[in-house]
Structure 1
């Protein structure tokens, strides 16, 4: 990996449980490998429980901050991992929704994978966007006003003054991470 993201700061947000392990740890490690400073903030701060799939508990990961303590202006990009419980919890978290809205209104990059776009729906930021997501989330995105929901490994959309990067599943992580790194570097 290179140091193409030196000086760039990326925020990953999660709940404290139900996070798809690879969708948290893989971008965190990959983006750090590109030279970015990556901060993981969770709803309550402290330990976050990751899962493999929706039922198999994996490792607990220490978050760096509590969501309510995050200042969006300190970061260049926001990453929202999936996991059905994680995404469903984030979409009800006032601090998470505030951060998503702040990033969009500031014209920053937001990246979401798998079920992560659910939080974008509740933040009210996907109207007019073209994106991809896990197959069971697609109808929700269409009903919430997405311009189009495509079946692609990664989809980047630069509409409405900010950049949205989305992917479908953990299988798409290498392309997802690369798209984030490229967008942040530009």
Structure 2
């Protein structure tokens, strides 16, 4: 999940979007004797943004998903018990990885002994707008600006039983601009067709 320097495109809950519509200063043309039928007007940028994100869960839900699963990973790393993190996974993850395989996937991260608990009180910055993939999965990419190393994440969730369940997670512990370590389970290759597996870049 190493993507060089991330550009911060979302703030607050990582989910605030800004749009700007430039105005025209030219004087209006005189009205004709008989009004012509007006042409259809394009949708405003704000409407398009709302439509494009209509299927996303609320901002609070997405924030809770990110925090909950990174904290579950932190607990797993501290206790060497990945059964809780595995239980939080959806059918896609659980059918492909055992708790033991999850532990192996995050072995490099465990060796670095990172402190992930700070995510409980920090707000993430999304570096890519959250999206629903063609396969119906929710994908979020961002970072927690912790010091001296920041926590970068990529998470994918699948809808299951009326809630979002973990399908894959990549975690990077980095000192910008150099990436120190990365590990996790990669759920997408390509995004629309998830394929899990341990990654270490």
Range class of TM-score, shorter chain: under 0.3
TM norm structure 1: 0.27
Bigger proportion of residues as helix: 1
Q: Which has the higher Rg, Structure 1 or Structure 2?
A: 2
